[in-house]
Structures are given as structure tokens and as C-alpha cells.
Structure 1
């Protein structure tokens, strides 16, 4: 088999990539205190493009909750093309560039556009320490996030986890221990997720795919939606869970997969939405900490464990199964998830 020979082991390497990110963060702990732990900034803005923008959303959501300070996530292009519409003037801003390769034109242009502004400071996170991003500003580096495949899988997980762990270190309390405990989930989830996803794809033929998530999981829902679209070329959409009920649910019919990333914070409300979609004929897949009577209506439930952890600390545990779903859908359709058409690993403008 030549199709998928790069992507499959990269999805499977996430547990090791997360552990390496944690060990590397211990060496860069001062980064956490200097940047995300520095209360002198009025606003922390996480920027990226494509998958990196979705990472930025998870990072900003985690930052606001755990540190209680203002943060936002923006596409990189908003900073160098629409900066004053995106970030209020006369604020002291920390701009955090997020890029797997560290070579994305848009994140480089964004950081370069603020380098001479008196109230702006930059930093970043990447998988390539010798990249342009790594050379132009101080970066966290995910050492095992490097990938050969075009699509982001273990790079997304490890970078997201590493930044969340840095925020946890800055916040202190029980959060660093939570992030370390989250590492214990990943190996088992990766293996069970592969088997579960392969079986699900083999047994079903869906014509529409919808991913739903809230809070930090909204960025994850957008990311796994993109993974399926990139790898298999099927049309899929993502929404905030309760927002989906306000118009978009009209597309639901038999043959629609509705996949819900269930939080513990909003579980009862989210499951009401999922049950409603089931009544419209959707095939409902729930990704959650644990099954219960409240999930019995669903067509498929994947249990993550980790119910004692906060939703944010458990975030990257949702990714392997849904990355595998994209992979096996691509394989079933006879396309190569390693080299999606029209795409390159680094996007330049």
C-alpha cells in the first residue's frame, strides 16, 4: 500500500509527540513565564492560517479560562491587512504566531508587520526551530511534530497540547498536573480510535458530514472537519453545537453523519441537540468521556475517559479518532490522504 503510508503512522505517533512536547516544555519553562504568564499585556492574540488558526482558537479559549485575561484568535492575514479592525489601538499586545512549518507567508507577514510598533511583542510555536518563524522570534518547539504528509495530524495535537501546557504552567495550581495526566490517555485512544474509525467507515456510506463543538472544542470541530475535507475531498461543515439549530440543521437527512464533540461543561445541552438530529434521520456519533443513559440514543459512542480532567486539558484526546475517520474515508474513496490535490505543506503568498 502506497496511499496513506505517511499519514497513518503520523496519526499513530501522537502519544509520543505529546510526551516529547511535555519534556521540551520543561526545558523552555521560562518561555511560559516570559510570554503567556506575563500579565503586563492587555491582549494576547494567537494567529495562524488554516489548521494553525484552529489551534489558535483552542489556545485562546484555554488562555482566557485558565489565566482570566483577555485573549483572541485571528487568521494571520487579519493582522497585516486589517490590524486596526481586529485589535483595538493603544493596547499592549502579545502576538503569538502558530505555524507547523514556521514558513507560512501569512504568519511571517503578520509578525513582520508589527515589529516596529511600540506596544507589540511577538513570540510563537512551531515544529521547526530553524524556520523563519523560529529565527525571527522566540518560539516553543514541538520536537516530534515534524511531518512528511501534507495534512496536519500529530503536529496539530502536539503544538496545541504544548501551548496549553505552557498556559497551565503560567497559571499554576492543579493545571500542570492535569496536563501531565492527559498524556496517559493518548496511547490507548490512538489505538482504539484507529479500530473504531476503520470499522465505522467500512460499515457506512455517508453523503454529508457535520462536526459540532463548543468552547475550546469549536476549534477542534473546525479542524476535524477540515481533515476529512482535505484527505477525502468530501464536503463537510462545522458549527457551534447550539448554533447549528438556528438554520443549518435544515440540511440534516438520512445519510448525514453528525459528529458531536461532547464537553462535560455543556453536556446536557449538547446531547439535546444530538438527539434532535437523530430524530431528523442523522447518524449520530458522540465523542465523550463516557457513555451513560443520556447517550443511549446515539448510533455510535467513542469513550475517551479522562472525565476527572477539565474539558480544556482533555482537548487533544478528541483528535485521533476523527483524524482516522478522515484517513479511512479517503482510503475507501480511493484517494491518497498523503498528497491531497491542490494542497502543499507550506502555503506561501
Structure 2
């Protein structure tokens, strides 16, 4: 959730550190700080505020070695005393992402040794522990490794020492960390976005790795204390992909990037005809033989999994279970041998999801398939099969293009599964593929509704509560639409299967409860019309997004907008777009911080 960045260079690192933090602001934070080491001079600067505040106070600083941090409060309130970097003894400064589960025991032990704690954080224990283990030694890396052996929990850390201004140490367990390689300078960060303006040559550290960065190179030691070689890769992501450009917010920019993201995600799938080989060696046999599908995910990714359940069951007849990752791992049970477990994640570093994947392996002889947007994430390395989405960098906390490309990947998977199991005729498989090929153009058509949606948003911004209704694959999209409105507009919103109205939600309906309904031209249309009439009869204000040919069924509703596309099997994707726009423009009307909503973070790397 927090962001960390470090650098050692022949030139001043302060602008690099501040620019890196600015590019990590999307991860969510409430305080920021940096530390510099230079010729045995040690400088620490912390603010209970934004990176812009930190930059203003750091304008006169310079140094050739340093670390920086944006903190999202977990232990202790957001104030300067709890902000990072934290001081260990009189010469160690550290930054930390994650949670140290045994920090209380460490705090008691270190206090008994004479260390004085000045914050409420778990992170300060790391700093004092490293200082204690370093002692009179000259081996900073060994002290960090010794501390790692004592720490329980998930973390990524950066360490600098006044007595060793020629090096920066960083390490990871559970939380992501990437190295950036330069000429006469080296970097690390919790996300590649922080490093893109500096270098595109990256190394993703493995779990348990420790790296020592010097100006002229790096040294990596693995969890066993052995020198390790990790492959350096050129990251093919433009530095300006995390720049705002002509748009008002990153969320708006990313909504309008979705046609391109879908095109890129589909390129190889359309070329190969949505076949199992897209997912890696052994996929054909795994798809043909699996007795069941288990999907695990969190947040928007969970909603994508709920949509996929309809496709998979309808096209293959296989039973599909969809679980919230944080609940799955705490349920007892066994997985049927051969079950295909699909783990969906934008970052591939979500703590609950990784724990669920490992739990699934313990519960049976399963195959793990990852759908992820990051090529070298922990999830992708641990999976047996993989489909990489091509959403690119997503800065806004509320997922848009990452969610849509997950839906695309799951549609491709469901088609490939049906092909491998021979459960659909070739003509039907061809129609499914043709629908995908037309999707990018349909996305552009749906986004042309923005001005109409703005009028809805102007009205919606005056309400405190909203219901979203849908049926079949649009039920999960109702959940997703409600989540987006909650996340960024701070309006209490709930999504329901429309058939559930009479089982409770209808009691909430009156003139102060707007009800947003997504309508497709399918076999459930008549039933959905009845649900809408139930709302109208109670005085509810109904906002209908209707596919062409369904408008006549909704005379008399409060607002009716005919969308330009009949989505068919892909209606879940096309109807997602106006709901994203609705949440975005409602948030703009309310004046919220769209890209960085309160209390939330982009990457949830702790439980």
C-alpha cells in the first residue's frame, strides 16, 4: 500500500526520490519522508502530508545516497513522528512497506536493551534491530539479513547507514521490490512506475532476497545467504504512461485507454483463435481433464470472476466456485484433485490472494492459473499457467482498464476451455471469437456517452444512497458499479441481482433512493421489466441504461439512456463503461480526490 524508493548515484538523488514518490502517490498514503546519507552526514525530513509538501521543504537538500517513503497508516495515527524514515540507534535509517507481526515482542526486547522508541509504528523496531545487530561490524548487509531472520510478517525495506554512505541495502519478503539498473547509479522501488524516468532495465527480487546497491553495481543474496543472480529485463513501458496528459484525472485517462488496452490484451488471443496454448505448456490437458473450476480474487477482480462463472458454466457445463480470497483461506475443506484454481489480480502481489493460492495447493492436487497485469509478480511466478493482461500502468486507485482486461482474459479462457473440452460447436466458437474482435470499436462507441452520463452524475451527486440492479452477467456488474461509486464518490451504494428486490432491498426504495438498472436484450428482459415496475410503484427514481430495442419497455422511468451497442455475450464489458463514467463524474461533482480516495490504496500487500 505504501510506496518506497531508494537511489545511490554520482548526482543529487533528491529529485529522483521525490519524483519516484510522486509517481507512487496512487498507492495511497497519508505522510511522506526521505533520508539522505552523504560523506557521513545524515539528513532526515518527514511531513504529515503530501509529497508536494515534502518537496517544498526539501528544495535546498542534496545528497548522493538516500531512501524515501509514502506511508499509509496501520500502526499509529498519521503524523510526523510516525512517518518514515525511522531512526535506529544513531546511524541507521529505514523505510518499510508491510506489517511486522512480532513488533511488540521486538519492541520489548529492544527497550530492555536501552533503545528508545519515538513512534507508535511497527517499522521502528526494524531500525533498532538492525542497529543492534550491526554493532561494531562493517557488514551492513549481514545485519539486515540477521534482522530479516527475526522479523515475522510481510515487508519490503530500504536501509541506509551514516557509517556506510557508499551503499543502500534493500530486501523483501512478501511485499514487492524491484531494482533499477543505471550507469554510475542504481535504484530500488516498490513499483516500476517510480523508476521509469530513470531506467527501463529492471530486476524483480525474489522472496527473501537482499540487495546491496553501490554506484557501480549491485549484489544480491538469497534467503539462504547465497549470492544469487537475477535476470535483468528491459521493461517496455513508456515513462509517460504514468503522466496525466490532457485528462483531468488518471481515472478518466484510464477509462479512455480501455479500447487500446483491450486491443493489446486480445492481440495474441485472436491470432491463435482463443486456444489453450495461450495459457502456457500443459494448458490443453489441464483444461480437458479438470473436473471443476475454483476462482479466487479480491475486490473488482472478484466481480470479474463472478461474471466468468456464467460464461464457463454455460459453455462447458463445469461447476464453478468463486471465492473472496480472504475468506477462502480460512474455510476448511478439500479441493478435488485436478481442480483448476484461477487467481485473478492486477498487481500479482495481493497478500490475501497469494495466501489463498498457497492454501489451495495444500488442499489438493490442483493447477494454479494466474490472470495478472504484471509479468514478474509473485503470483505469476508461483502459477502453473498464466494469461497476462496488457492494461499497462493503472494509477487511479479505482480499477478500470485492469478490470476490463481481466474480463477479456476470462472470456478468452472460457472460450479456450470450451474448445479444449469440445462442448461447443465450431460455429459457436467462431461467433464468440468474432464478438471479441469487435469489442474495441464497441468500447469507443460506449465511451461516446460521456456527456449524457455527466447529466446523470449531476443529479446523482445530490443523493446519499444508490441501488444498482442487474441480472445474469450484469448482476456482478451491478456490484462493480456500486463499488466504484462507493470508492470515489463516497456515496453508499449496493448492487443486487434484480430478482432479490422482494427479499429485502425493496424496503429501502423511496423517492430518495435512485435505482440504476442495466438492461440487455435477452431472455430475462421481461423479468427485469417487472423488477423496474416494482421500484416505480414505490416511488423510486429509476435510471435505465438500455440496449437498443429494449427502450419501449421502460416508458415512464425517471431517466432512460439508450446505449449504442448490443453487447450480447460481452454485455458485461460494454455496460461496465457507462458505470465507470457515472462514478467518475459523480465524484468530480462532489469534489472528492478521484485518483486517491480516502482510506484506500492501490495495492493491498498486507492482510
TM-score between both structures, scaled by the size of structure 1: 0.91
CA distance in 1 between partners of 2:437 and 2:345 (Å): 24
Q: Say if 2:445 is the partner of 1:198.
A: no
Structure 1 residue runs of 4+, over 6 Å off? none
Across the aligned residues of Structure 1 and Structure 2, the Cα RMSD in angstroms comes to: 2.3
Q: Tell me what 1:119 maps to.
A: 365
Is 1:55 aligned with 2:304?
A: yes
Instruction: Please report how far the alpha carbon of residue 147 of structure 1 lies from its aligned counterpart in structure 2 after TM superposition.
Output: 0.2
Q: Deviation at 1:145? A: 4.6
Q: What are the superposed Cα offsets for residues 284-315 of structure 1, whole Å, 9 maximum, x if unpaired? A: 111221243212222222333443x53x3221
Report the Cα distance in structure 1 between the residues aligned to 2:309 and 2:285, rounded to whole angstroms. Answer: 11
SS in 2 for 1:302: strand
Aligned length: 343
1:199-218 correspondence runs (5 A): 199-204=455-460, 205-218=462-475
Q: Which moved more, 1:118-127 or 1:32-41?
A: 32-41
Task: Kindly indicate whether the alpha-carbon contact (under 8 Å) linking 1:94 and 1:122 is maintained by their aligned counterparts in 2.
Answer: yes
Q: Matches of 2:560 and 2:289 in 1, distance apart? A: 44
Q: Whose strand proportion is higher, 1 or 2?
A: 2
Matched position secondary structure for 1:62: helix
* Aligned counterparts of 1:150 and 1:329: Cα–Cα separation in 2: 16
For residues 92 and 79 of structure 1, the distance between their equivalents in structure 2, rounded to whole angstroms, comes to: 18
Matched, 1:100 2:346: yes
CA distance in 2, matches of 1:183, 1:3: 20
Rounded Cα–Cα distance in structure 1 between residues aligned with 2:366 and 2:335: 11
| Match of residue 382, structure 2, among 123, 136, 149 | 136
In 2, Cα distance between equivalents of 1:37 and 1:305: 39
Contact in 1 for aligned 2:499/2:531 (Cα 8 Å): yes
SS in 2 for 1:47: strand
C-alpha distance 238-118 of structure 1, shift in aligned 2 (>3 A): closer
Q: Distance in 1 between matches of 2:247 and 2:592?
A: 7
CA drift at 1:36 = 9.8
SS in 2 for 1:255: coil
1:282 is matched with which residue: 529, 536, 540? Answer: 540
Residue aligned with 2:601, SS = coil
Q: Secondary structure at the match of 2:255?
A: helix
1:296 and 2:555 matched = yes
1:346–1:174 CA distance, 2 compared to 1 (3 A): same
Which among 336, 345, 348 is matched to residue 602 of structure 2? 345
How far does the alpha carbon of each residue in 1:323-343 deviate from its partner, in whole angstroms, 9 at most, with x for none? 111111111111111001111
Residue 23 of structure 1: aligned partner: 267
Shift of 1:31: 3.3
Could you say which structure has the greater relative contact order, defined with CA pairs below 8 angstroms and 6 or more residues apart?
1
Structure with the higher fraction of residues in helix conformation: 1
Q: How does 1:220-231 map to 2 (within 5 A)?
A: 220-231=477-488
SS across alignment from 2:488: helix
Q: Is the 8 A contact 2:445 2:565 kept in 1?
A: no
Match of 2:573 among 316, 320, 328: 316
